[in-house]
C-alpha cells in the first residue's frame, strides 16, 4: 500500500510578498481548495529558521509533498533542496508582485494571480512523487579517450590527475596526432614573439609515467554499447585481437583531417611540388632538421615564399568550406617566421582577405611577424601559374583595387580543417529534408564538411553508430549553451572534431571535456541526470497496457535513450536520458511520465485555475514556458519590474518538446482565452538545451490550427514563439500582445 500523501504548504512573506499579498487568504486557499494538510507562513522562508521549520515537519513525518510559495523555482535551490519528498514551487515574487504595479487598482488582480499560483502548486504537488535513483549501476570512474592527439592526451592526463583512470585508443602507431607533425607551435606565453616547442614529446613522456593512463596504439573502437556508468567498449588492434573494457564515460578526440587541396586546381596544387599545404610545409621543415628548407622541385635555395590564406575556405563555391578554420592565419605567420628566422633575406608575403589571430597573444604574434619583415598584403588570390624557375601568384590587391602578381619559389596554401567525426547517423534524414526544399539547393559549404571515414565509436544505438553531426559536420550540440555536450549522454567531444581550433584552444577544450566526463560518471553512479537537469533523479516510465507501439517516443528522443524490446515496446535507458520529457510530449496516448513531471502534474495546474466567466471581463491566458530560456527571461523581467498582464498564468516546462497537445486542448476546454508556448530558438542556430524540443513543439502546434477551426475558435488564441534567455523585454511584450488580442477578438466561448 502506498504511503499516505501529506501535503504541507509554506508561504513566505519576505521580499515584500507579505506587504503586497494577503497571506492568510493564501493559507485558506491552500487548505480548502488545494487540499493541503496544513499551511504555514514564515517571514523569511529561505532563512535557516524557515528551512529548519520545514525540515522538522519532514523529519516528524508530517509532510511527504511540499509547496514552497515564495520566489521563483530558479532561486534558493540549495535552501529548498529537501530530500525524499516531492516539492512544488509557487512563484509569488518574480511571477506576481514584481510584475504588477503596487497600486490600489491592481491589488485585486494581483491577489487573484497569487491565489491561482497557490492552487496550481498544490495540485501539481498532489500529482508528484519524490523521485528515487534507479540504481542501474554503481560508480565507474574509468574514462575512455578516443584519439591520441594533443586533445586526447590532455584529456587523459587531466582526468588521471583528478583520480579518474583513462584509456587512450589511438589508431596509429604513435601518440601526437596532427600536432606531432608540427615543427613548432604558435606561442601561448608572453611575449608571444617566436614559434614555440609543441610539447608533444613532453606530453607523451608524462603519459608514459602516469600509471592512471593506459595507451592502446594501432587500435580502434570496434563496438560501444551500454550507457553512462557502464559503457562496454570493445577495442580491436591491427593484428585482429580484441579486448573489452567497461568505462563510465567517453571523450571523443578524433581530431581533424586537412582539406583536400586537390580541389584547388587554380592554385596549381598537384601540378608542381612547389605548391604545398601548411601541413606539408611542416613536414618539410621537420625533414630539414634545422637546415634551410629547399625548393621541393629542384632542391634550390628559396628566396620568395607566398602564403595564400583562406585557400578553399570562407567560400560558397562548390567543394569549398564555407567556414573559417581559425588557426590558419597564426599558422602562416609562424611558418613565415621559419624562413625569416633562418634567413632574414627571404621574402615572405602573406596574402589575406581578413587576418584573424585569436588568443590573448595573437596581436603580439602578428606584430612580431611584422618586425621580422613578414609582409602582409590584403588581397584575393585568383591563380598560381607554374613556371620553370619560380611561379606567378596572381591576385587582386584589395587596398589598391587592382589586379597584380607576385613571384614565388614556394607557395603555401592555408587550407582548412575537416572534422573527423565518423558516420553521420542522420545523413539520410538530412538528405531527405534537402530534397523537400522546393527550388532550393543544399548549402554547398556543408556538402564537403565531413570526411568519408569509417565509424569512430561504433555505437550500438538504434539511432546510429556515431554521435550526431551538426553544422559542417562538427559534433558539437551547441557550443554556446552547452560546450562539449553531444546528443549521446556520457559521450563528450573535444578539440577540432567539435569546432575549428588551434592547439591552445584544443588543450583547454580537452580539460573541459574531461571535467564534463567526470561529472557524467559521478551523476551516473548516483542515478542522476546530466546537463542541463544535472542532479535530477527522475526518469521516464510508461504504462505498458496503454502503449500502442507507435514508436514516436523512440524516434523523437534526441538522445538515443529509448530502444525497443523484442515485443516492440519501448525500453527506457535511465543513464542516457536527459529528462527533457520529449517522449512524454510525443506520446499520443499519454502513458509516459516522470515521478515529478507528467501529463497530470501540468494538466492539474491548468485545470485548477479560478476561471472567471465571460461577464467578469477577466480573461485567462496560459503560458507554457521553457525552463531554460523563456522562464528565466520572465524571471528577469520580474527582477527589472517590467509589467505584464495580471490575467496570465505561467507554467514552466522542462522543454517545449515535452508539451503534450492535450494540455492545449484542456486549456481551451477549461475556458482559457489564449495559450502561448515559449520555447528556445530552433533551426540551424538552435539554442534548445534538448536539441530538437522547440522544433518538435512548433511542428505539433502547427496542427492545432485545424482543431481550433473545428471548434470555431480563432487561430490567434494559440501562439508559439521562440524566446531567448535575453528576451527580457520581449517575453512580457508577447504576453501583453496576447492580452490585447483577446480584448480585440473577445472571450472564449468555452467559458464556464
* DSSP 3-state of 350: strand
Question: Mean of the pLDDT values across residues 194-206?
Answer: 96
| pLDDT single digits (tens) 424-463 | 988 877 777 667 765 554 444 444 444 456 899 999 998 8
Give burial (CB, 10 Å; 0-12/13-18/19+) of 289: exposed
Distance from C-alpha of 7 to C-alpha of 62, rounded to nearest angstrom: 8
Among residues 50, 57, 42, the alpha carbon closest in space to that of 7 is found at 57
pLDDT at 392: 97
- Decide: 276 and 412 in contact? Cβ < 8 Å: yes
pLDDT at 447: 40
Distance from C-alpha of 302 to C-alpha of 285, rounded to nearest angstrom: 13
- Decide: 497 and 256 in contact? Cβ < 8 Å: yes
Distance from C-alpha of 245 to C-alpha of 144, rounded to nearest angstrom: 9
Class of the CATH domain delimited by 260-415? alpha beta
Domain borders along the chain are 1-130, 143-257+445-525, 260-415, 542-575, 611-752
DSSP E strands, 150-270? 166-169, 213-216, 219-225, 231-237, 242-247, 249-252, 256-258
Residue pointed to by grid coordinates 511520465 = 593
Residue pointed to by grid coordinates 592554385 = 267
Helices 328-342, 278-288: crossing angle, 10 deg rounding: 30
**Superfamily holding 143-257+445-525:** FAD/NAD(P)-binding domain (3.50.50.60)
For 472, which DSSP code? G
DSSP per residue, 532-594: TSTT-----EE-GGG-----HHHHH-TTS-EEE-TTS-EEE-TTT-----HHHHH-TT--EEB
Question: Mean of the pLDDT values across residues 700-729?
Answer: 89
Contacts of 124 (CB under 8 A, 6+ apart): 88, 601, 602, 604, 605
556 phi and psi angles, rounded to 5 deg: -85, -15
| pLDDT single digits (tens) 33-91 | 999 999 999 999 999 999 999 999 999 999 999 999 999 999 999 999 999 999 999 99
- Decide: 53 and 42 in contact? Cβ < 8 Å: yes
DSSP per residue, 234-262: EEEETTS-EEEEEESEEEE---EEE--GG
Classify domain 611-752 at the CATH topology level: Rossmann fold (3.40.50)
pLDDT at 442: 45
- Decide: 664 and 718 in contact? Cβ < 8 Å: yes
The three cell numbers of residue 443 are: 548549402
pLDDT at 435: 72
What is the share, in percent, of the chain residues with pLDDT greater than 90?
Answer: 81
Alpha helices in 324-373, H assignment, sequence order:
328-342, 362-371
Distance from C-alpha of 570 to C-alpha of 552, rounded to nearest angstrom: 10
CA quadruple 534, 535, 536, 540: dihedral sign:
positive
What is the share, in percent, of the chain residues with pLDDT greater than 70?
Answer: 96
| pLDDT single digits (tens) 538-561 | 999 999 999 999 999 999 999 999
Distance from C-alpha of 681 to C-alpha of 692, rounded to nearest angstrom: 10
Q: How confident is the model at residue 485 (pLDDT cuts 50, 70, 90)?
A: confident
Residue pointed to by grid coordinates 531567448 = 724
CATH 3.40.50.960 for the 1-130 domain, yes or no = yes
Question: Mean of the pLDDT values across residues 237-254?
Answer: 96
Report whether pLDDT(194) > 60.
yes
Among residues 67, 70, 68, 49, the alpha carbon closest in space to that of 5 is found at 67
Distance from C-alpha of 90 to C-alpha of 472, rounded to nearest angstrom: 44
Question: Mean of the pLDDT values across residues 484-513?
Answer: 94
DSSP E strands, 398-495? 402-408, 410-413, 417-419, 491-493
- Decide: 401 and 308 in contact? Cβ < 8 Å: no
Name the pTM for this structure.
Answer: 0.90
Contacts of 169 (CB under 8 A, 6+ apart): 144, 145, 146, 147, 148, 216, 219, 220, 221, 235
DSSP per residue, 702-713: TTHHHHHHHTT-
User: Measuring CA to CA, how many Å separate 275 from each of 63, 297, 307, 418?
Assistant: 77, 10, 10, 20
Distance from C-alpha of 179 to C-alpha of 388, rounded to nearest angstrom: 34
CA 289-293-295 angle, 5° bins: 145
260-415 and 143-257+445-525 share a CATH fold: yes
Residue pointed to by grid coordinates 613536414 = 283
Amino acid at each position: 500500500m502506498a504511503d499516505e500523501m501529506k501535503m504541507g504548504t509554506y508561504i513566505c512573506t519576505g521580499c515584500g510578498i507579505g506587504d503586497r499579498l494577503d497571506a492568510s487568504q493564501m493559507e485558506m486557499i491552500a487548505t480548502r481548495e488545494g487540499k493541503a494538510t496544513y499551511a504555514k507562513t514564515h517571514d523569511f522562508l529561505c532563512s535557516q529558521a524557515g528551512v529548519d521549520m520545514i525540515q522538522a515537519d519532514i523529519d516528524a513525518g508530517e509532510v511527504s509533498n511540499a509547496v514552497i510559495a515564495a520566489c521563483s523555482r530558479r532561486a534558493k535551490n540549495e535552501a529548498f533542496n529537501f530530500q525524499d519528498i516531492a516539492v512544488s514551487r509557487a512563484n509569488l515574487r518574480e511571477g506576481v508582485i514584481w510584475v504588477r504595479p503596487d497600486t490600489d487598482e491592481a491589488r485585486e488582480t494581483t491577489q487573484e494571480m497569487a491565489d491561482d499560483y497557490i492552487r496550481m502548486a498544490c495540485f501539481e504537488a498532489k500529482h508528484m512523487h519524490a523521485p528515487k535513483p534507479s540504481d542501474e549501476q554503481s560508480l565507474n570512474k574509468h574514462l575512455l579517450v578516443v584519439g591520441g592527439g594533443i586533445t586526447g592526451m590532455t584529456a587523459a592526463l587531466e582526468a588521471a590527475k583528478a583520480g579518474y583512470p583513462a584509456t587512450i585508443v589511438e589508431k596509429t602507431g604513435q601518440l601526437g596526432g596532427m600536432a606531432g607533425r608540427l615543427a613548432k607551435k604558435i606561442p601561448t606565453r608572453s611575449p608571444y614573439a617566436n614559434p614555440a616547442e609543441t610539447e608533444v614529446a613532453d606530453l607523451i613522456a608524462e603519459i608514459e609515467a602516469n600509471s592512471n593512463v593506459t595507451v592502446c596504439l594501432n587500435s580502434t573502437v570496434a563496438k560501444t554499447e551500454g550507457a553512462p556508468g557502464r559503457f562496454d567498449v570493445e577495442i580491436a588492434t591491427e593484428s585482429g585481437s580484441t579486448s573489452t573494457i567497461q568505462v563510465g564515460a567517453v571523450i571523443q578526440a578524433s581530431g581533424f583531417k586537412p582539406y583536400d587541396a586537390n580541389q584547388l586546381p587554380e592554385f596549381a596544387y598537384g601540378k608542381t611540388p612547389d605548391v604545398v599545404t601548411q601541413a606539408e610545409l611542416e613536414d618539410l621543415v621537420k625533414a630539414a632538421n634545422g637546415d634551410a628548407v629547399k625548393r621541393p622541385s629542384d632542391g634550390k635555395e628559396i628566396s620568395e615564399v607566398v602564403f595564400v590564406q583562406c585557400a578553399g575556405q570562407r567560400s560558397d563555391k562548390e567543394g569549398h568550406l564555407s567556414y573559417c578554420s581559425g588557426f590558419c592565419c597564426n599558422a602562416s605567420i609562424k611558418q613565415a617566421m621559419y624562413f625569416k628566422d633562418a634567413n632574414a633575406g627571404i621574402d615572405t608575403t602573406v596574402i589575406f582577405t581578413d587576418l584573424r589571430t585569436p588568443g590573448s597573444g595573437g596581436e603580439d604574434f602578428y606584430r612580431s611577424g611584422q618586425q621580422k619583415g613578414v609582409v602582409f598584403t590584403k588581397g584575393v588570390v585568383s591563380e598560381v601559374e607554374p613556371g620553370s624557375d619560380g611561379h606567378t601568384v596572381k591576385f587582386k590587391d584589395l587596398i589598391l583595387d587592382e589586379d597584380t602578381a607576385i613571384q614565388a619559389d614556394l607557395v603555401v596554401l592555408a587550407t582548412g580543417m575537416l572534422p573527423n567525426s565518423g558516420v553521420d547517423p542522420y545523413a539520410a534524414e538530412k538528405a531527405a529534408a534537402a530534397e523537400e526544399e522546393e527550388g532550393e539547393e543544399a548549402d554547398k559549404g556543408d556538402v564537403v564538411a565531413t570526411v568519408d571515414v569509417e565509424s569512430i565509436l561504433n555505437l550500438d544505438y538504434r539511432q546510429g553508430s556515431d554521435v550526431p553531426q551538426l553544422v559542417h559536420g562538427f559534433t558539437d550540440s551547441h557550443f554556446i549553451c552547452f560546450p562539449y555536450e553531444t546528443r549521446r549522454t556520457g559521450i563528450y567531444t573535444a578539440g577540432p572534431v567539435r569546432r575549428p581550433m588551434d592547439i591552445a584552444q584544443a588543450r583547454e577544450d580537452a580539460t573541459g571535456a574531461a571535467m564534463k566526463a567526470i561529472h557524467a560518471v559521478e551523476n551516473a553512479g548516483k542515478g542522476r541526470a546530466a546537463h542541463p537537469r544535472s542532479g535530477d533523479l527522475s526518469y521516464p516510465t510508461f504504462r505498458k497496457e496503454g502503449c500502442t507501439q507507435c514508436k514516436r517516443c523512440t524516434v523523437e528522443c534526441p538522445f538515443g535513450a529509448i530502444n525497443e524490446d523484442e515485443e516492440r515496446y519501448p525500453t527506457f535507458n535511465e543513464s542516457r536520458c536527459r529528462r527533457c520529457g520529449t517522449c512524454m510530449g510525443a506520446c499520443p496516448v499519454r502513458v509516459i511520465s516522470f515521478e515529478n513531471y507528467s501529463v497530470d502534474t501540468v494538466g492539474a495546474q491548468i485545470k485548477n485555475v479560478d476561471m472567471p466567466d465571460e461577464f467578469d471581463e477577466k480573461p485567462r491566458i496560459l503560458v507554457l514556458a521553457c525552463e531554460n530560456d523563456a522562464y528565466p527571461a520572465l524571471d528577469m523581467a520580474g527582477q527589472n519590474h517590467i509589467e505584464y498582464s495580471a490575467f496570465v498564468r505561467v507554467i514552466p516546462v522542462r522543454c517545449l518538446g515535452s508539451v503534450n497537445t492535450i494540455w492545449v486542448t484542456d486549456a481551451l476546454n477549461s475556458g482559457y482565452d489564449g495559450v502561448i508556448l515559449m520555447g528556445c530558438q530552433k533551426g540551424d542556430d538552435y539554442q534548445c538545451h534538448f536539441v530538437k524540443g522547440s522544433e518538435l513543439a512548433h511542428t505539433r502546434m502547427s496542427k492545432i490550427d485545424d482543431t481550433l477551426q473545428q471548434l470555431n475558435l480563432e487561430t490567434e488564441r494559440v501562439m508559439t514563439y521562440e524566446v531567448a534567455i535575453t528576451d527580457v523585454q520581449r517575453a512580457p511584450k508577447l504576453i501583453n500582445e496576447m492580452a490585447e488580442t483577446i480584448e480585440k477578438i473577445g472571450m472564449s466561448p468555452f467559458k464556464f
